[in-house]
Amino acid sequence: MKNSGRVCEIAFGKKFLPVTFPANSIDLSISNPSPRMNSTLFKRSLSRFLNKHPLDLSRPVIVVTDKTRLCDYPAYLPPLIEILKQYGMHPKSLRFIIAYGTHPVQSDEESRQLYGDTYDSFPFIHHDCDDIKLFVDLGKTSRGTPIRFRKDIMEASAVITIGPIVHHYFAGYGGGRKLLFPGCGERKAIYKNHSLYLEEKGLATGCQPGTLKNNPLAEDLAEIAARKPADMAIHGILDSHGHVCNMLVSNSNQEYHKACAIHGQHCEIETEPFDLVVASCGGFPKDINFIQSHKAIHNSAMFVKDGGLLIVYSECRDGIGSETFLPWFRMGSFKKAFKALGENYQGNGGTALAMMTKLKRIRIGMVTNLDIETCRLIGVEKWQNHEVEKLLASTETIPAWISNGSLLVKKESKRKNTVLHGGKYHLSGLK
């Protein structure tokens, strides 16, 4: 080994793998928001909102995220329910809806872990995007997306959403308004919205993480949200460990944009790209399957030079996580897959095309539980942890290390020179 280096603990599922990096490696990390939220502060925020914006709590619905996007629900659902009761809600009138979008339904045991005792104390409805009887049709957006909301959401006296704000690789941001759609949307309507990721000859350039303006898909979502906004939207601001640092309570699109901006301030970084980047998806649940891991792969790839190498640690305990992802790779080329998807958008076709696009530009390796045949089909190289350490010990380039690729997003660099020394390189040092 050329130097003693430093050992980093890489999140991989629910465990950590030690990896030794060269002493001159660059640590690309987010600037964690200061922990300030707790049950008492949360209840005060809720009371301030409800005093200013009284809600009819006779038939309320609370919409929550699924297991792919944690928001410390066991800690924050009980105080939310307590405050709602203080403002007139009868506990028996409350229902929860889990916003799966097109994601697979989680088990009762997974739900208990995710929502705590609340899951067994109140009715939880597992959203089914294929049950057409659930929806009411409100027409179409200007881009042709059907506006279909659940009837029980339309009939609720108050709709409350609570979930984390996150970057999304083509919708700009996740969470917030996305809990109602696509989270509680109808499959064909979701696919129509997601098809806006495709332009005439390639992927829409405006569909980028952290981009809401001039993003056709995000603008379509805003149009849908305007038809049925949440009466109270609770936006969780998380740190790199998934801890809730703030809960912003609002009912306006402006406040949603504010929450996104706060998240972006902590998670977007400016730097020149690197020849070699090693990244973790952030561990469970961010690497629960390939579809969820792809968000971190997409973000981390932005830090890699053309022709460079990205190695991603992604457990994928649930495999690919979609039956509509791998078939696009069996078509033999981006051109064929793009044509087929343009004619009939479905499933995770856009994710497949995004992956193909990255693989045209860079090499991607994965330390993963996916089998080698699946890796080969996708076009990624399967690596072992000891092979990564061997590469890092012999590399002539300065590698970069990303501890949570699901959060970190690269801003367009305005600098002419990259950092040429080791240590941390994060937002607090870029002012």
Report H helices in 144-252.
151-155, 187-194, 216-227
Sequence ranges of the domains in the chain: 6-31+268-429, 39-238
CA–CA separation, 166 and 235 (whole Å) = 10
Name the token pair of 333. 């080329």
**Are 153 and 184 in contact, with CB atoms under 8 Å apart?**
yes
Provide the 3-class DSSP secondary structure of residue 70: coil
CATH code at 39-238: 3.40.50.11440
CA–CA separation, 354 and 235 (whole Å) = 28
Q: Residue 414's pLDDT is what?
A: 52
Q: Residue 319's pLDDT is what?
A: 97
Q: Answer yes or no: CATH 3.90.226.30 is held by domain 6-31+268-429.
A: yes
Q: Residue 123's pLDDT is what?
A: 98
The residue ranges of the chain whose pLDDT is under 70 are 1-4, 413-431
pTM of the model: 0.87
Q: Residue 420's pLDDT is what?
A: 35
**336: which residues sit within 8 A by CB, 6+ positions away?**
none
Report H helices in 90-176.
108-115, 118-121, 151-155
Provide the 3-class DSSP secondary structure of residue 20: strand
Q: Residue 425's pLDDT is what?
A: 36
Q: Residue 46's pLDDT is what?
A: 98
Q: Residue 240's pLDDT is what?
A: 82
Q: Residue 413's pLDDT is what?
A: 58
If one counts every other C-beta atom within 10 angstroms of the C-beta of residue 428, the result is 11
Which residue, 361, 355, 353, 360, is CA-closest to 201?
353
CA–CA separation, 420 and 278 (whole Å) = 17
The sign of the torsion formed by the CA atoms of 245, 168, 413, 304 equals positive
- The CA dihedral of 184, 187, 190, 192, to the nearest 10 degrees, is -160
